[in-house]
Structure 1
Amino acid sequence: MKEIKAFLRHLYGAGILFFYYLKWPVAIGVPVLYLYLHYPRNIFMDLLWLYCVILIIKDFVVMFLRYKRGEKIWR
């Protein structure tokens, strides 16, 4: 049980790092791959792109709400 919890913590941390650093390149890169480089459509890449776009929208909403409350936008 301890090993499973450790594995899940590592997986969660890797997911956070992956999406923190790669959400913008994925959100911009996947349409470029499909539209200009004519890569074949892939459902996994489509879902990854959609999730990254949702994360970017969430970041803008959180930034707007912080600005509206008068909090610091940048940490």
Structure 2
Amino acid sequence: MSDETKTSNPWMHELRHLYGAGILLFYYAKWPILIGWPVMRFVLEYKDNWIIDALWLWCLILVFKDFYVWFVLKESYCKSKSCKPKELSDGNHAQNQN
């Protein structure tokens, strides 16, 4: 990216910061929101909140995406390439020197 585009579009810099903050927020908060909101709603009898409901649905979508990536894509990757560590697959095993 040239210096011209950096100075002419300061909003892109801020949007990148917001995007990064959103990734970190949902990376660490998706499981507490996914499990905690139903507990708060039905066990602790909190009032309905459509904003938290939307966040809960978004976290549910992210968890389904994670399961898809972890199980489906990893399995297809392991079928196409060896998933063994390099030192085990090339036959060059390190010896213990105790």
Shorter-chain TM band: 0.7 to 0.9
Q: RCO greater where, 1 or 2, for CA within 8 Å and sep 6 or more?
A: 1
Gaps of 5+ in 2: 1-7, 84-98
How many residues of Structure 1 are paired with residues of Structure 2 in the alignment? 72
TM-score (norm: length of structure 1)? 0.87
CA RMSD of aligned residues (A): 1.5
- Give the corresponding residue for 1:34: 41
Name whichever of 3-12 and 47-56 sits farther off: 3-12
Q: Which residue of 2 aligns with 1:54?
A: 61
Residue ranges of structure 1 left out of the alignment (5+ in a row): none
More helix by share: 1
Distance (Å, rounded) in 1 between the aligned partners of 2:52 and 2:11: 28
- State the one-letter code of the partner of 2:20: G
- The structure 1 segments of at least 4 consecutive aligned residues displaced by more than 3 Å after TM superposition are none
TM-score, normalised relative to structure 2: 0.68
